[in-house]
Structures are given as C-alpha cells and as structure tokens.
Amino acid sequence: MTTIRVRFAETDQMGVAHHSAYVVWLEAARVEWMRHLGLSYRELENEGISMAVASLQIQYRNAAYFDDELLIDTRLTTLKSRYGQFSYRIEGPDGHLVATAISEHISTDRTGRAVRLPSEWREALAGRIQPSHHGN
C-alpha cells in the first residue's frame, strides 16, 4: 500500500483533486510497489528500459480533497515477457473508495521498440500476479 498526500497544486477550482493528478499517483504507487519487491524502476530506466503506458482506465468514484492521505493498493494482474497489466484501488482517509484503475504497459527500449523485461525482473514479478480489483 502506498500513501499519497493530496497536494494543494493538485486541486482545481471545483475544490477537489483534479482527475489528472490520479494518473501521477498511480505511477508513483507502481514505482513504490516495485521498490517493495526489491526492484528499482530507476535502475531499469538507467539500463534503457521503460514500462511505457499503453492504456489507462480510471473510474472516479468519490472526490479526493486537499491534504487527504490516500491509500493506493497496486496489483500486478497480468505478466508477459514484454507486457504487464496493473490494477489499482485508491481509498480515502476513512477507507471509502476514491477510484479504481487499470494500466497496461509495454516494456520498451530507448527507441520505443518492445523488448523483453530483464530476466531478473520477470522472475521477481512472476510470483506476484494477483486478481484485479475489478473482479476478473
């Protein structure tokens, strides 16, 4: 679980966290999830490999507010040699649902070409597949 504090800059004139901020939080949660497995996304990037975002779906359920501490549960739901899918659940301070999301990723080299994830990564990730938060 990753904790995110909603920043003032992330609010909009509706008085809630802007929907684009969630995209940044999901990415930060993904990087933290990797770190907890002993995987440094920074090092992967330094080796010239990125997990480029191929698609993103977010269901916004309840607004998040400035200074809220949100909890993000990140799950790897599918893994192939060049592909990964993540599922997310964002909860508000009292456990209520803020949003769910799914992201798809292609591992690419610096030219944008799909490449296999390093074997160290595939092995570390292979045992971590979990069901999606979306029930299938």
- Which residues form the interface with its own copies (CB under 8 A)? 5, 7-9, 11-16, 18-20, 23-24, 27-28, 31, 40-42, 45, 50, 52-60, 63, 65-67, 110, 112
Indicate the SS3 state at residue 135.
Answer: coil
**Least distance from C-beta 47 to its own copies, angstroms?**
13
56 or 124: CB nearest its own copies = 56
Give 103's contacts (C-beta < 8 A, 6+ positions apart): 26, 30, 53, 55, 56, 57, 85, 86, 88
Q: How many CA atoms lie within 13 A of 132 on its CB side?
A: 15
Closer residue to its own copies (CB): 31 or 115: 31
Q: Which two tokens stand for residue 26?
A: 């999901």
Nearer to its own copies, 49 or 79 (CB): 49
Shortest gap between Cβ of 97 and its own copies (angstroms)? 13
Shortest Cβ 102–its own copies spacing (Å): 9
CA-to-CA separations, 109 to 46, 48, 51, 56, 112, in angstroms, rounded = 11, 6, 9, 20, 5
Compute the least distance from the CB of residue 117 to its own copies, in Å: 16
